[in-house]
Structure 1
């Protein structure tokens, strides 16, 4: 057997079940991360992945909202010495000593980070890097030392063997239930209870800590309680899924959900959904590719985040591109209408060559936007084109253009009245802002300027359209 198989088959890893487990391990382990599991084991693997991932995703929402993602990552690494010390003091691989040790070290990480930043006059990110790397290194040394005599393998803690967790089970009502199921299920219930009980406090502290303090909520206590819950969820999941998946599920589902929703309840539901999908699809992907289950679950979570970055309805890259294109088209349409209106003011009897054959844009992209904008104006019957491609305003287009020009000249008048600007510095800012001056602001400008008849250049300000 290789090193991984030796560590897994040492006495204590599956106490009392070696006779039934070793033949299967002989198939599973020598090929590295090969998966030759039954459907039942696969389903339990997915269930354990969900139970480990969902609490981390829910708590991760608060970390992402409070911009403490790196602190969550630090705690998930820094609890390692707490796990080791809990084992050394209790002599047990599972039990309250392990959880308490992890929680204490998790809180210690947050405390030391703030103390080092405040007293040492160093940036918070630098102090966080010093604290969590030091504690993590200490934890690796402790685990490595302990692993020389007992079954406390650093590789299992870091990488996890979630695909093997269902093999160590206990019969409940005739059904073989993995031992990790109870610990992870308890953490999930405690996490839900914690969030439900302190919903108002966590919400207020996450969005406005000074206000929370002002209304009598101890923001510091809530902060450290959250850090303790993060540490508890982390250590509970370590045994089954390892550090890599815990770190991924603390941040990635919450960051994905934050792109999809700005409401905390919906964000938590979306983060939980991402965690469930990552667990199910990650297992299937690991089976198909013969790879690490925990690693594949983390990869799927990252892939879902990448999809959200591109396709999120409001904050996704595609949505932003569409929003910018719509804004560019609207500005191009309005610029064309205003240009035609000014051309009519100068020479009402002759149309203006402002169509696709004579665009105002200079770059290729702007020229295409201009062409699309003119097409929209023609379909909306704001302009009409002659046989030679020359554009003229329709009555509908003229009314729309009149409001744009009115907004432009009112703003020029306002700038000239209230700011010490020369006349040749008025047109450019007014041209940029005319697209965002609605009827209400036009009425306020008109009232403030006492209904001027002309702009600073002596051009007539069009009357307000009925």
Structure 2
């Protein structure tokens, strides 16, 4: 009888899986580098990079402002995505508009005509923050109230509340635009160019950069300070309440911080494009990792990279795309708009090529799983033929496996992999298990027969009904599960069919 491997040894299958995981990681890295060099190559060949030679201090300021906004927004965005409240961020960004407009109007009303410009700017910014935060939290409370009293679904209540508040903001802004200087385009789409121009004319760091830097610092500080509480309340608010964490207070705190971050970003990217900065980096990072801490770090990196690449793209796109189309009047495009577009591009790439959750990755993983199952079927078939002292001719083995897998190419590919991995050896037309192949095959057959024994013990099934289920399960039992099955079954040496269990 063939015996299984010692428990302390590293099995062939474990080594194979680790090698496969490393190979996948290198493949994704190669793909990312290839895409990067492809873009650079296209830019060099088309000479679209030449406008970047004009990069100056104004560009540095615009990139700095965009990076601070994108990174600051990505931090609370991660918790909104994890809590499945992404639409709440969109709602707050729109609902905060009436708060900003009302605070702006009140600031002009109280300041009068002979106001000091510097002190007025401080008062105006403070009131705008207060108004936006108040309306942002009010949006959350109204949404919950409409959902509870109107007995409607949460997203429906959210849609009613934030569209109504946004409409009120637009109405106020349009009604007072002639009396007070309110630029609708600046409020809705931002104006990072004006921030850079302010820095160029005054020689000082613009207030918008300071505000966004402070917002980023506050967000990072709160996450570091309350990470454990935020994490448990994000995934299981009921459990958080059970262990003494006020999940409701954390919820409103998160909404408040989100509102503050969004208002800080309004001057740079506006109340519409800020949603892309809030959700898209977090959603992209969500596809790349299953750990919240890494998700936050990746979201910040993605946001910063998108801001830099977005601004560079805004300079390059006219020559790369518009000139070949005969559009020569456009010198550059919106920096914030291109940043949002690049973030969307990153998300699209993650949808297809994320290591675990990407569409292409899942397809590759299914193929890898099918190949592994075919390999283990080859090993199991050889193991059983040796037990029965039956022929191990290649044609006979493949004919038997053809009854399990209709795709003959899969069996031949699996056999070639096993030969390459030194698990199976060919001698003329016969196949033989090597020492490592015996260990791997022993695990597969052991899993099969242990599962048959477990099913026979706990379920009233005929012996001829056990094989089909065990044939599927055998590929997914690891060392720990086999050990637990042995403990459950006691000192069992044979399966229900009287065959030895390796």
Tell me, yes or no, if the aligned pair for 1:452 and 1:461 is still in contact at 8 Å.
no
Match of 1:64?
Answer: 81
Structure 1 residues 280 and 170: CA distance shift in structure 2, 3 A = closer
My pick for the range that moved more, 86-95 or 219-228, is 86-95
Residues 331-357 of structure 1: CA distance to partner in whole angstroms, max 9, x if unpaired? 111111222333445552563625668
Match of 1:15?
Answer: none
2:246 to 191, 213, 218: 218
Deviation at 1:144, TM superposition (A): 1.6
Q: Distance in 1 between matches of 2:392 and 2:224?
A: 71
Match of 1:185?
Answer: 213
Match of 1:233?
Answer: 261
* 1:312 equivalenced with 2:354 (yes/no): yes
Match of 2:337?
Answer: 295
Q: Secondary structure at the match of 1:163?
A: helix
Tell me, yes or no, if the aligned pair for 2:495 and 2:501 is still in contact at 8 Å.
no
Q: Secondary structure at the match of 1:385?
A: strand
Q: Secondary structure at the match of 1:95?
A: helix
Match of 1:130?
Answer: 160
Match of 1:11?
Answer: none
TM-score, normalized by length of structure 2?
A: 0.76
Deviation at 1:439, TM superposition (A): 4.1
Unaligned runs of 5+ in 1: 1-33
Deviation at 1:47, TM superposition (A): 1.1
Structure 1 residues 301 and 415: CA distance shift in structure 2, 3 A = same
Q: Distance in 1 between matches of 2:171 and 2:52?
A: 31
Q: Distance in 1 between matches of 2:207 and 2:147?
A: 41
Match of 2:137?
Answer: 107
Match of 2:70?
Answer: 53
In angstroms, what is the RMSD of aligned CA positions?
3.0
Q: Secondary structure at the match of 1:291?
A: coil
My pick for the range that moved more, 313-322 or 151-160, is 313-322
1:268 to 288, 296, 299: 296
Q: Secondary structure at the match of 2:425?
A: strand
Q: Distance in 2 between matches of 1:55 and 1:183?
A: 11
Q: Distance in 1 between matches of 2:90 and 2:286?
A: 18
Tell me, yes or no, if the aligned pair for 1:103 and 1:231 is still in contact at 8 Å.
yes
Match of 1:353?
Answer: 395
My pick for the range that moved more, 435-444 or 408-417, is 435-444
Match of 1:5?
Answer: none
Structure 1 residues 130 and 336: CA distance shift in structure 2, 3 A = same
Q: Structure 2 matches for 1:8-407, cutoff 5 A?
A: 39-91=56-108, 94-169=124-199, 175-289=203-317, 290-346=332-388, 348-349=390-391, 351=393, 353-354=395-396, 360=402, 366-388=407-429, 390-394=430-434, 396-407=436-447
Deviation at 1:185, TM superposition (A): 2.9
Structure 1 residues 144 and 424: CA distance shift in structure 2, 3 A = farther
Unaligned runs of 5+ in 2: 1-50, 109-119, 318-331
Tell me, yes or no, if the aligned pair for 2:99 and 2:134 is still in contact at 8 Å.
yes
Tell me, yes or no, if the aligned pair for 2:448 and 2:473 is still in contact at 8 Å.
yes
Deviation at 1:139, TM superposition (A): 1.5
Deviation at 1:408, TM superposition (A): 1.5
Tell me, yes or no, if the aligned pair for 2:392 and 2:431 is still in contact at 8 Å.
no
Deviation at 1:66, TM superposition (A): 1.6
Deviation at 1:76, TM superposition (A): 0.9
1:416 to 456, 461, 482: 456
1:429 to 448, 458, 469: 469
Q: Distance in 2 between matches of 1:50 and 1:235?
A: 16
Deviation at 1:279, TM superposition (A): 1.3
Q: Distance in 2 between matches of 1:427 and 1:152?
A: 75
Deviation at 1:361, TM superposition (A): 6.9
Tell me, yes or no, if the aligned pair for 2:382 and 2:392 is still in contact at 8 Å.
no
Structure 1 residues 312 and 447: CA distance shift in structure 2, 3 A = closer
Alignment: residue pair count: 425
Structure 1 residues 362 and 423: CA distance shift in structure 2, 3 A = closer
Tell me, yes or no, if the aligned pair for 1:76 and 1:246 is still in contact at 8 Å.
yes
Residues 66-109 of structure 1: CA distance to partner in whole angstroms, max 9, x if unpaired? 22111111111111111111122222784211111110111011
- Greater RCO, CA 8 A, separation 6+: 2
TM-score, normalized by length of structure 1?
A: 0.81
Q: Secondary structure at the match of 2:192?
A: coil
Q: Secondary structure at the match of 2:500?
A: coil
